[in-house]
A and B are shown apart, each in its own frame.
Chain A
Amino acid sequence: MALSRETLISALLVALLVAIPLLATAAGEPFYVTLATRIAILALAAVGLNIALGLGGLVSFGHAAFFGLGGYVAGIFATHAFNAEPLPFGFTATTAMPVIWLGAMALCGLAALPIGAISLRTSGVYFIMITLAFAQMIYYFAVSWPSYGGEDGLSIYVRNSFPGLNTAQPLPYFLLCLGVLVAGLVLFQLIKGSRFGAALEASRQNPTRLAAVGITPFGIRLVAFAVSAMVTGLAGALFADLNRFVSPSMLSWHMSGELIVLIILGGKGRLFGPVAGAMVYVLFEYALGGVTERWQFFLGLILLGVVLFARGGLLGLLAGKARHG
């Protein structure tokens, strides 16, 4: 029963996320489309983290590294294409989003392998902190590396393109991001239901038994970590294009913290948890920011309320019992 209620509420969330931009466009209020796009992208980033955190129990406090790297791929491609300069390593710059997305995912996957390989030697709080350490290294590197703007960041003068769509318009870009979010959710569900997902789940709950049947938790976790990083990196590329700007603040530990907050807020390990979390977080940030300059104070109170009184996040609160397993 609990499951079907969760499904119902999730469906409602998605319907809301789709309906609002359509209504806003009809009403001539394109800003709400932008806001919904932001929700979709942050939700995607959190879905990525949820693969590691929710399924694998790997609490990464450094996923901003991948979010930011993805963003920088979009920014660097756009800049080089704008100035008609070739990229390093003989790649040709392009403004085609599919290529950029592949580049972002490839880079994040490649970065996640060594980071994961070292980090996964640790566990618990040590894992939380070593992932933070790697993110901080990349953050300071980005701040002090002059080629792409350093602390000032990098502007994307024209949003990158997608074949057949006018991405400069808010609504098509929203639909594109929504499509990618849905793909991310499908991927999450596929992983969760697969044998790999079962092994990942087991590596979280009982690594010894997993080892006993001849599977090393390390390999499974590493793959999950890399996939998780790739999805978050893809979201980063979309986020840079949304803002037409990328800067080291996308790599900061605040960003890592926010991604974790989105997941817990919505409900850890649940398919639609990140979507619910992103919706609530962005809407509160927006609504409170318009009301009072003390908005962070009230945002803090709300978050505290959720964690103290709504175990299992908002979906847990709305959909009743925590999921099984």
Chain B
Amino acid sequence: MSAALLIEQLLNGLQLGVMLFLIAAGLTLIFGVMGLINLAHGSLYMIGAFACAAVAAATGSFWLGLAASLAAAAAAGALMEIAIIRRLYERDHLDQVLATFALILILSEGTRWLFGSFPLYLDIPPILQGAVPLPGGGQYQLYRLAIIGVGIVVAVGLYLLISRTRLGMRIRAGESDREMIAALGVDIRTLYTVVFALGAALAGLAGAMVGALQSVQVGMGEPALILAFVVIVIGGIGSIKGALVGAILVGVVDTMGRFLLPKLLALTMPASQANLVGAALASMLIYIVMALILALRPRGLFAGQA
């Protein structure tokens, strides 16, 4: 095993983590501000991917598709918030789980109704094709580096938004004391709609970018949703910083587990068996890590006020 391969795998883990961060950021933001468990977050991710693929196919431009994914997911999010989600803030988590579970069913089948049963095509834009050389002799794909870049920009952007802007101030106020900011005359209903749409747009952005790497199909949101939940729970629900750390931890652990576990086990057992057992362990690894972290820190790594 060369150093170049190791570096490449670490980058792969980082990139997977950044991708998870983009999905998880919206989820944790929505939970932190509104106290809402949104199982339909994965559906917003799917909507982003479908919007990007459809617009890119019609216009030939990935970038127009990317814009469309942001718009479609934000619009779908705002619509959902106004029509349904708004009625759930005062309910307990169970009602939220049931309602958003129902939304998954509706959005999945609705998407299939619109786009048909076959997966859609979406490729990475020409300008981001190809690879760049790495120190140590390896090379790394440009598009994946771009995803890491987008993740960093979003993380910094969210940090600035929340700590430096009026909207951010209201979000922070909303997290700590709901009645108070309503009393201060802030229109809390609009604030919630804006936050929900922002979270949805982030999910849509992630869906569009991932869609170029994977298959754009109905049901793609569910595995992403589960991983996003793992991430925000590890990080501490409601904490953007926690989501970032949790996402990168999950990305790196998952990638390195798939890469290294079979090799480690091969030292103690025959290679073909090590492959099987290693793969089985690797698929359980992030959940084991999550259980360990929660056993030691029951409110995640960076517990918010939630």
Contact = CB atoms under 8 A, between A and B. Distances in A.
In the complex they form, do A and B come into direct contact, defined as C-beta atoms under 8 angstroms apart?
Answer: yes
Nearest to A303: B102
B294 A59 contact: no
Contact of A123 (B37, B39, B298): B298
Interface string A272-314: 0000000000000000000000101101111110111001000
A177 B167 CA distance: 57
Interface in B107-144: 108-110, 113
A31 interface: no
A126 B283 contact: no
Contact of B105 (A268, A303, A307, A311): A303
A260 B94 contact: yes
A304 B97 CA distance: 11
Contacts of A306: 98
A137 B289 CA distance: 11
Contact of A145 (B39, B94, B237, B280): B280
14 contacts: A118-B294, A125-B31, A126-B233, A126-B237, A128-B97, A130-B290, A133-B287, A141-B284, A144-B276, A260-B98, A264-B98, A297-B105, A300-B105, A306-B98
B279 interface: yes
Contacts of B105: 296-297, 299-300, 303
Contacts of A121: 294-295, 298
Interface centre among A61, A261, A306, A308 (most CB of B within 10 A): A308
B284 A140 contact: yes
Contacts of B37: 125, 128
Contacts of A140: 280, 283-284, 287
A111 interface: no
Contacts of B230: 129, 133
Nearest to A143: B283
A261 B288 contact: no
Given A126-B233, A294-B109, A304-B99, A144 B104 contact: no
Contacts of A301: 102, 106
Contacts of A219: none
A144 B280 contact: yes
Contacts of A303: 98-99, 101-102, 105
Give chain B's interface secondary structure class.
helix
B103 interface: yes
Contact of B299 (A53, A122, A261, A294): A122
A134 B292 CA distance: 11
**3 A-B pairs with the lowest CB-CB distances in the bound complex, closest first:** A300-B105, A144-B280, A297-B109
Interface in B38-52: 39
Contacts of B233: 125-126, 129-130
Interface residues of A, number: 45
Contacts of B226: 132, 136, 253
Contacts of A137: 284, 287-288, 291
A257 B226 CA distance: 12
A144 B279 CA distance: 8
A123 B237 CA distance: 12
Contacts of B294: 118-119, 121-122, 126, 129-130, 133
Given A144-B276, A300-B109, 6 more contacts: A130-B233, A130-B290, A297-B110, A297-B113, A302-B102, A303-B102
A119 B108 CA distance: 31
B93 interface: yes
Contacts of B211: none
Contacts of B77: none
B226 to A, nearest CB: 7
A304 B95 CA distance: 10
B87 A308 contact: yes
A310 B280 CA distance: 43
A39 interface: no
Contacts of B290: 129-130, 133
A125 B92 CA distance: 11
A141 B94 CA distance: 28
A316 to B, nearest CB: 12
A260 B87 CA distance: 20
Given A264-B95, A264-B98, A303-B98, A136 B287 contact: yes
Interface centre among A126, A260, A264, A294 (most CB of B within 10 A): A126
A86 interface: no
A265 B98 contact: yes
A143 B287 CA distance: 15
A179 interface: no
A98 interface: no
Interface string B63-103: 00000000000000000000010011001011101110111
Contact of B99 (A133, A296, A308): A308
B110 to A, nearest CB: 6
A307 B99 contact: yes
A31 to B, nearest CB: 25
B302 interface: no
Contacts of B306: 125
Given A294-B109, A300-B106, A307-B102, A128 B300 contact: no
B229 interface: yes
Contacts of A132: 226, 229
Contacts of A297: 105-106, 109-110, 113
B97 A260 contact: yes
Interface in A215-264: 253, 257, 260-261, 264
A59 B291 contact: no
A164 to B, nearest CB: 41
A285 B271 CA distance: 46
